[in-house]
Amino acid sequence: MSAALTSGPVIEAAGVVKTLGSGAGTVQALRGVDLALGSGELALLMGPSGSGKTTLLSILGCMLKPSAGTVTVGGQATEGLDAEALARLRRANIGFVFQSYHLFPTLTAAENVRLALDVRGHPGRAARAKASAALAEVGLAHKEKSFPRELSGGEQQRVAIARAIVGNPSAILTDEPTAALDGENGQAVMTILARLAKAGGRGVLAVTHDTRLLPFADRVIHIEDGRIRHRQASTPKEAEPRV
């Protein structure tokens, strides 16, 4: 399963500003953010609570519109797009993985993954094959018929990753993907995300507080008070995990 080809960054923000609230309660959550996520890289977005991480992720994922600045997804500018057009752009280019797995308890792993294809109008037989391939890619081919209650937390997160990649996105955006997991399962999830970035040619951006994830990153981006404060390259190659 390979990601859709894009020219240039898979997602890019330029001069993004986001103002929340009004009047005396106005808060400038983002203050001129520039960020480009490249194909094949896993980048971590880190910063204290209230720094603007989740707001930025929502804007990059076409779930919020910036107050100013531009966002480009899959080579297409989002400026001027209505909610329906943004949803189409999001479905075509972006997969999401969150701290909470958001799996339907009455559906099997395969059925949960197929939900992402239902909204795209994929036919039943093709959708079943794609869901099976996505679960195999995250090492859960043997759990297709299992319900969430029969899966560990790490396995549930891997189902969520399979759901995120089944539509063949060029970018995966994740919000604290390991926060609910123990160290071993967190490492397993990050190993999968790193492999999906490098072998699949996708851009992966993970919002996290977890410093244990640093060895997996190609780049670490630090945000504070709505501004990118600094960026640092990955750890030396000898310290990187094998993926």
- Summarised one tens digit per residue, pLDDT across range 131-183 is 999 999 999 999 999 999 999 999 999 999 999 999 999 999 999 999 989 99
Q: How many CA atoms lie within 13 A of 91 on its CB side?
A: 14
Query: Given this model, what pLDDT does residue 234 score?
Result: 60
pLDDT band for 189, please (50, 70, 90 cuts).
very high
Mean pLDDT confidence for 211-224: 94
Q: Per-domain residue ranges for the chain?
A: 38-54+88-239
pLDDT band for 122, please (50, 70, 90 cuts).
confident
Q: What is the mean pLDDT of the chain?
A: 89
Query: Given this model, what pLDDT does residue 238 score?
Result: 40
Phi, psi of 146 (to 5 degrees): -85, 145
Residue 93: name the closest of 163, 205, 166, 170 by CA.
170
Mean pLDDT confidence for 58-68: 95
CA dist 206 and 190 (Å) reads 10
Residue 173: name the closest of 153, 197, 155, 200 by CA.
197
Task: Summarize pLDDT for 220-229 with one digit per residue, the tens.
Answer: 999 999 999 8
Q: pTM of this prediction?
A: 0.88
Q: Is the pLDDT confidence value at 4 over 50?
A: no
CA dist 209 and 1 (Å) reads 30
Cα angle value 135/138/140 (rounded, 5°): 55
pLDDT band for 239, please (50, 70, 90 cuts).
very low
Q: How many CA atoms lie within 13 A of 240 on its CB side?
A: 16
Q: Does domain 38-54+88-239 have CATH number 3.40.50.300?
A: yes
Cβ pair 55, 44 in contact under 8 A: no
Residue percentage of the chain with pLDDT more than 70: 93
Mean pLDDT confidence for 57-76: 95
Looking only at the bridges linking them, the beta strands covering 68-73 and 76-77 are antiparallel
Cβ pair 49, 211 in contact under 8 A: no
Query: Given this model, what pLDDT does residue 235 score?
Result: 54
Residue percentage of the chain with pLDDT more than 90: 77
Contacts of 130 (CB under 8 A, 6+ apart): 114, 117, 122, 166
Task: Summarize pLDDT for 77-114 with one digit per residue, the tens.
Answer: 999 999 999 999 999 999 999 989 999 999 999 999 99
Neighbours of 211 (CB within 10 A): 10
Q: Is the pLDDT confidence value at 117 over 80?
A: yes
The full 3-state SS of the chain, as one line of letters, equals CCCCCCCCCCEEEEEEEEEECCHHHCEEEEEEEEEEECCCCEEEEECCCCCCHHHHHHHHCCCCCCCEEEEEECCEECCCCCHHHHHHHHHHHEEEEECCCCCCCCCCHHHHHHHHHHCCCCCHHHHHHHHHHHHHHCCCHHHCCCCHHHCCHHHHHHHHHHHHHCCCCCEEEEECCCCCCCHHHHHHHHHHHHHHHHHHCCEEEEECCCHHHHHHCCEEEEEECCEEEEEEECCCHHHCCCC
Compare 158 and 2 and report the one with higher pLDDT. Answer: 158
